Structure 1
Amino acid sequence: MLFKLQINWQARAVLVLLLMLVVSGCGAAANGSGGAPSGQNSSSPAAGESAQPTAEANAAGDTEGRTFKHAMGETVVPPNPQKVVVLDNGALDNMLALGVKPVGAPSIISVDDGFATYLTGTEGITNIGTVEQPSLETIASLKPDVIIGIKDTQEAIYEQLSQIAPTVFTEVGGAQWEANLAVHAAIVGKEAEGKKLIEQFDAHIAELHAKLGDSLNTTEVSLLRPRKDRVSVYLKPSFTGGVVERAGIKRPAVQSKDDDFNFNATEEQIADLDGDVIILFGRESEQEYFEQKIKSNPLWNTLKGVQNDRVYVASWEVWLSGHGIQAVNLMIDDLTKFLVKA
């Protein structure tokens, strides 16, 4: 009996020792020993691991920030960051919807264009350049608490950004707009607000479905972006196609693909552009080919959408480059206008 008690006591002692070692290791990691400095990235995610950012509290609690595992590694973000710089329009859109005004944000294409015209409340935000070419000097001058960007677009400057402030990258922009909203909300401590925005978006879709009635299951929508030398047909993996898919809208059979963001068509493939409803969302500077080679072609007039006078032009800022919760709600507004017959 004494032997059994002695063994049990020894086993418990070993367990206590192991627990102390684990706690000690966690504390060292939280304080930065043996890892990357606070606010900097550690190694990038291993192959096969999810690159979608996730957040967890540090061992010492939220008072020291939260560690975000993201597309470029891990970054500690301070709690309730006040000075936020965003590097794409989707993050700007989302931050404003969450009630957070960034100190810096980019224009979509040209600095001279300012911010997307569909956004309100951008007064006082410093323009940091464009999505493709943000100014590191301007960003540094703002002394941000956190920088939010996209690996797909800004990977080359990630290390430089990380030297300015803790930087979190999502993998891509618009194609993962809903997941990105959750990340943006978490970074600024607005998770509840982010979830509410999605709930409101779902209610918006439900309203659209109620207005469409049976036509929801019979109306096929073609999504076309006129470009300088072709027309791009946008598919499910794209931002535009993904939102329309999320809204439960049918697509023509040739456009119901998920193997790429889009496919290109010229005057030889006009039949592939057809749909009961055709939505165009090209930039003003890229209309010449469409006007001269597509609309002037007799085959264009054979399309159902053309014959039924159901060809609509939508804002490219919203449908192509919006990438945020405000943009997707405006897309549902447009779908309601385009699809619901008076």
Structure 2
Amino acid sequence: MSKKLSILILTVIMAVLVAACGAGNSNNTNTAPANNTTGAAAENTAANAPAEAAETAELTIKHQYGETKVAKNPEKVVVFDFGVLDSLDKLGVEVTGVPQANIPPYLEKFTDTKYENVGSLKEPDFERISAIQPDLIIISGRQGEAYEELTKLGPTIFMGVDANRYMESFEENMKTLGDIFGKEAEVEQELAAVEQSVADLKAKAEASGKKALIILAQDGNISAYGPGSRFGIIHDVFGFEAVDPDIKVDTHGQSISSEYIVEKNPDYLFVIDRAAVVGGESSAKQTVENELVKGTKAAQEGHIFYLNPNYWYLSGGGLVSVSEMVNEIAATLE
């Protein structure tokens, strides 16, 4: 083989080797950015994971009928309890459906057609609720019998107030709403204000030494309510001594007569006119203030008070309604 041919062959071999090395370096350069892109995607996925988890987070809510898993910040909410409704409104939380029959005047905004009418307090419209496909349904005592059926339509929780521990259960309900809707700080602030107003009222009521009787009037009939009853907050929390501590605790109260009122002779007589909010003949004043009752201390001293049944009978247990109940009783001591 000639010297020139040998040099030529060597030159070709060297060129091939250089080209191969160049190709190898080119592959390595392209691979690195690909790996970096994958790393960035992984970082983004990890960063987004907590946000996605928060959006789909669930809470387990314990209530009178058991435990219910509820999504954090539910969007489609159906509310059957007016106390809960006034609380959500106070906290700036929108709802989807409400029972528009018998809505208290202070919640009149919820009669607007933008809100779905889901029936009445005692008769939910299951078909309408089903069409909503709610993320959460909130009920209280009047819907107790419908609980099982409602659970088939969406997560359902009971948020009624326990008359035996009114303020404790009220505060628990409000904190639950705070947890569900991310309004914990707002709820704490509202509860602190309510607690202070209750403490002020209780101090005045106890200092007055006055004994009170609470009655519900309906179409000529009268029922009495004492400590531990649905209206017993006046005694148990607000500080008025009961003129009769042995009144039977019953949802419908203890049936009484005018003679009973005369016998007990209360200093303060608090009257709730049921007919004024549920229909019927609203004649509480005529029923209560007859010739017999006019001789009692309450009547003689101008201490017969007709409480707002929208707060006391239809609603109650809400941030707005409880505050108004406190204000109403406090005003009787001024």
**TM-score, L = length of structure 1:** 0.69
| 1:330 and 2:330 aligned | no
Equivalent-residue separation in structure 2 for 1:93 and 1:64 (angstroms):
25
Q: CA deviation at 1:159?
A: 2.9
> Do structure 1's residue 118 and structure 2's residue 111 form an aligned pair?
no
Aligned residues: 270
Matched AA of 1:226: A
**1:190 lines up with 2:183 in the alignment:** yes
CA apart distance, 1:217:
3.8
Unaligned runs of 5+ in 2: 1-52
C-alpha separation in 1, matches of 2:255 and 2:150: 35
The percent of aligned pairs where both chains have the same amino acid is 27
CA distance in 2, matches of 1:173, 1:86: 18
Find the aligned partners of 1:102 and 1:272 in 2 and give their Cα distance.
48
The secondary structure found in structure 1 opposite 2:232 is helix
Aligned amino acid, residue 222 of structure 1: L
Residue of structure 2 aligned with 1:94, choices 47, 72, 87: 87
Whole-Å separation in 1 of the counterparts to 2:220 and 2:326? 29
| Deviations, residues 15-56 of structure 1 (Å, cap 9, x unaligned) | xxxxxxxxxxxxxxxxxxxxxxxxxxxxxxxxxxxxxxxxxx
Shift of the 243–145 alpha-carbon distance from structure 1 to 2, 3 Å rule, reads farther
Cα distance in 1, alignment partners of residues 177 and 260 from structure 2: 40
1:300 and 2:300 matched: no
**In structure 1, C-alpha distance between the alignment counterparts of 2:75 and 2:151, rounded to whole Å:** 17
| 1:136 correspondence with 2:133 | no
Query: Where do residues 275-294 of structure 1 align in structure 2 (5 Å cutoff)?
Result: 275-283=266-274, 284=276, 285-288=280-283, 291-292=286-287, 294=288
CA distance in structure 1 between the aligned counterparts of 2:245 and 2:175, rounded to whole angstroms: 29
Superposition map of 1:32-181 within 5 A: 63-107=56-100, 111=101, 113=102, 115-119=103-107, 121-122=109-110, 123=112, 124-150=114-140, 152-170=141-159, 176-181=169-174
Query: How many Å apart are 1:319 and its aligned residue?
Result: 1.7
Letter in 2 for 1:116: P
Say if 1:289 and 1:334 are closer, same or farther in 2 by CA, change over 3 A.
Answer: closer
Shift, 1:303, TM fit: 0.7
Offset at residue 188 of structure 1 (A): 2.4
Change (3 A) 1:259 1:79: same
- Mapped to 1, the partners of 2:246 and 2:92 lie a distance apart of 36
CA distance in 2, matches of 1:289, 1:205: 28
Helix, strand or coil: the match of 1:239? coil
* TM-aligned CA deviation for residue 290 of structure 1: 6.3
1:25 paired residue number: none
SS of equivalent to 2:315: coil
Residue identity opposite 2:172 in structure 1: A
Identify the residue that residue 17 of structure 1 maps to in structure 2: none
Provide the rounded CA distance (Å) in 2 between the counterparts of 1:82 and 1:272: 54
Partner of 2:19: none
- Distance in 1 separating the partners of 2:333 and 2:284: 27
Query: 1:119 Cα shift?
Result: 2.9
> Do the aligned partners of 1:101 and 1:125 also contact (CA within 8 Å) in 2?
no
Distance 1:289 1:336 in 2: 22
Q: Secondary structure at the match of 2:119?
A: strand
Q: Which has the larger radius of gyration?
A: 2
> Is the counterpart of residue 236 in structure 1 residue 227 in structure 2?
yes
Please give the TM-score of this superposition, normalised by the length of structure 2: 0.71
Once the two structures are superposed, residues 172-198 of structure 1 have per-residue CA deviations (whole angstroms, 9 ceiling, x without a partner) of: 577543433333333323233222222
For 1:119 and 1:216, the matched residues in 2 are separated by 35
